[in-house]
Structure 1
Amino acid sequence: MKSKRLKRANKILTHFRYNYNVLPPYKILIDGTFAMNALKDKINIMEQMPKYLGEVCELMTTKCVIKELEKLGSPVFGALHILKQYDIFHCPHTPEKCVNSCFTYLARKSIKEGKQKLIFATNDNNLKDKLREIPGIMNLFIGYNTILLEDISEASLQKEEKPSNEIERIKEIKKQVLGEEKPRIFKKRKAKGPNPLSCLKKKPKIEKDTNNGSDSKKTRRKKKKSDNQKN
C-alpha cells in the first residue's frame, strides 16, 4: 500500500511539474485543520511531508491562520503550537481575513505567470472545494492516518485542453487573413544507377578434386610416359 501511495503522489507531482511548472522545493501552506488532524493521528508533518513528496519542502502558514487559531483558544492550542514553528508566508490582509479567503486569494495569485507556485494543505471541505475550482492548484489532506494528495481537479484538466483549442483558432484566423496555404512541393530524388560492383560477372567456382581423383590422374600420366618410352 505504501508503494502505491508514493507512486500515485509521484504521478500527480509529475503532472503538475510539466503542466503548471510546480517545482521543488515545494512551498506548502498549512492551515489549522490540517495541523489538528496531524496531531490527532500522531503525524510528524516536518518528517513525513518530504518523505511523501520525495523532495525538499518549505512548510509555511499565514498570519490569518495564526490569528484565527488564537481566537479559537485552548481547543486548538496544539495546532497553534505546531504552526508557530513554521515560517509565515506573506499575505496582504490587514486586518486578517478568514483562512478560506486568505488561501483562495493566495491560490489565485500563485497561478499567475512568474509567481511562486504554492501547494495547500487543509482538511476543511469548504476550502478544498474552492481550491479545486482554481486550475493548477494541488491540495494535500490527512486521511487514513497519513498525508495524501487530492486527485487532479476538473478545473486543472480542462485548463490543459485549452491550448490545443487556441492553436486551432489561430490556424483558422490565419486562413481567413492569408488564405489557404499552398502545399509544399518536394523534389523527387533521381533514381540512382546500379552499384558497379553488382554488375561484375561472378567468378565460376572451382571445385576441388577429391584425393582419389587426383591420385587417378597421376597414375594415368605415368602410364602414358611408359608407353612413349617403349616406342
Structure 2
Amino acid sequence: MRQNRSKAYRKLMAMYSTSFGFRQPYQVLVDSETCDTASSQKIDLLTRMESVLVGSVKMMITQCCIHELYLKGKSHQPAVDLAKSFERRKCNHKEAMPGDECIAAVVGETNKHRYVIATQSHPLRVGLRAIPGVPIVHINRSVMILEPASDTTLQFKHRAEQDALGPSTSEKAMLSAVAPPPEPVVKKKGPKGPNPLSVKKKARKHATQEVNTRVAAARVEKVHAGNKRKLHEAEDGGKVSAGAEPRPKRRRRNKTASRPVEV
C-alpha cells in the first residue's frame, strides 16, 4: 500500500474511533461476493484487511451469505471454505435471504455494533452510505479500498462536535428546572440639570451686559447735556444769561515774569 493512502486510511479510522466508538479488533462483516472475489484472485483477505484498517480485525460472516455461496455450486467451493474460516454472525433469519438484505438488516439504522462492511455489491454500498458511521471496504482490481466518509457521516460528526461544546442533556434539564434569575432593575435617568459652572457664567455675562448698558446710557446723557449747553450758548450770543453764574476766567501765567532779569 502506498504511503499517502495508508496515512489517509489511518486518519479515517481515527475519526471513526473518536466520533463513533470503533475499537480494535475491528469487526469486519464480509458478504459472499467478497469471499468469491478474494478466492478467485488469491487475496489474503485477513492480511489485506489489517493493512487497510491499520489495526487488528475479526472477520465475520452471516449464515445467509454462506447459504448464498452454497447455491452457486461446487465451482465456488474455495469461496465456501474461506467463508467457513470466519466467525459466524447470528442474523436470526429463520429462512435464508439474499446477502445484501441480510447485511442491511444486521447493520440496522445506526450500526450500533460497529461493523466494518466488506462488500462488492454496489446497491448495498449506496444504501450503507446513508447510515452514519459505517466504514465500507471493497476490492477494485485486486486492490482493497476503504471508501472515504459519506456526507451523512460527516454531518453526524459535526453535530456531535457541536453538542459536545454545549451543555449535555442532563444539564439542559437542570437549567430548565431552575427558575430564571430576576431581571435587574434599571433606574430610568431623568433630565439632567444645568451645569453650575455654566449657570455662573451666564449670570456673570448678564451682569456685565447691565454694567455696559449703564455706562453707555451715562455717556449718552453726558453727550446730550454737552450738546444742550452749546445750544444755549449759541442762542445767547456767547453772553451769560441772567440766572447763570459767570464762568471764571482762566489766568494765563506770564512766562516773562518768571524769568530772571539780566543786568
TM-score, scaled relative to structure 1: 0.67
- CA gap of 1:132–1:148, structure 2 versus 1, over 3 A, is same
Q: What is the alpha-carbon distance in structure 2 between the residues aligned to residue 181 and residue 87 of structure 1?
A: 63
State the one-letter code of the partner of 2:73: G
Q: What is the alpha-carbon distance in structure 1 between the residues aligned to residue 182 and residue 156 of structure 2?
A: 30
Q: What is the alpha-carbon distance in structure 2 between the residues aligned to residue 43 and residue 181 of structure 1?
A: 71
Q: Map Cα deviations across residues 129-154 of structure 1 (whole Å, 9 max, x no partner).
A: 11111111111111142211111011
Q: Tell me the equivalent position of 1:36.
A: 36
Instruction: Please tell me whether the aligned partners of residues 119 and 137 of structure 2 are also in contact (alpha carbons under 8 angstroms).
Output: yes
- For the pair 1:136 / 2:133, whether they are aligned, the reply is yes
Q: What is the alpha-carbon distance in structure 2 between the residues aligned to residue 92 and residue 11 of structure 1?
A: 35
Instruction: Please tell me whether the aligned partners of residues 111 and 137 of structure 1 are also in contact (alpha carbons under 8 angstroms).
Output: yes
- CA gap of 1:154–1:84, structure 2 versus 1, over 3 A, is same
Q: Map Cα deviations across residues 165-221 of structure 1 (whole Å, 9 max, x no partner).
A: 7959x899968x855898xxxxxxxxxxxxxxxxxxxxxxxxxxxxxxxxxxxxxxx
Equivalent of 2:114, from 94, 113, 117? 117
Q: What is the alpha-carbon distance in structure 2 between the residues aligned to residue 38 and residue 25 of structure 1?
A: 21
Single out whichever of 30-39 and 11-20 deviates more from structure 2: 30-39
Q: Tell me the equivalent position of 2:154.
A: 157
TM-score, scaled relative to structure 2: 0.60
CA drift at 1:56: 1.4
Q: Which has the higher Rg, Structure 1 or Structure 2?
A: 2
Q: What is the alpha-carbon distance in structure 2 between the residues aligned to residue 152 and residue 40 of structure 1?
A: 29
Give the aligned length.
Answer: 179
Instruction: Please tell me whether the aligned partners of residues 110 and 131 of structure 2 are also in contact (alpha carbons under 8 angstroms).
Output: no
Q: What is the alpha-carbon distance in structure 2 between the residues aligned to residue 146 and residue 181 of structure 1?
A: 66
% identity of equivalent residues: 23
| CA RMSD after TM alignment | 2.9
CA drift at 1:94: 0.9
Q: SS in structure 2 opposite 1:67?
A: helix
Instruction: Please tell me whether the aligned partners of residues 91 and 102 of structure 2 are also in contact (alpha carbons under 8 angstroms).
Output: yes
Q: Tell me the equivalent position of 1:78.
A: 78
Q: Tell me the equivalent position of 1:64.
A: 64
Q: SS in structure 2 opposite 1:72?
A: coil
Instruction: Please tell me whether the aligned partners of residues 109 and 131 of structure 2 are also in contact (alpha carbons under 8 angstroms).
Output: no
Q: SS in structure 2 opposite 1:11?
A: helix
Q: How is 1:1-231 mapped onto 2 (pairs within 5 angstroms)?
A: 2-108=2-108, 111-112=111-112, 116-163=113-160, 164=162, 167=166, 179=180
Instruction: Please tell me whether the aligned partners of residues 43 and 146 of structure 1 are also in contact (alpha carbons under 8 angstroms).
Output: no
Q: What is the alpha-carbon distance in structure 2 between the residues aligned to residue 60 and residue 20 of structure 1?
A: 20
CA drift at 1:77: 2.8
CA drift at 1:16: 0.2
Instruction: Please tell me whether the aligned partners of residues 59 and 87 of structure 2 are also in contact (alpha carbons under 8 angstroms).
Output: yes
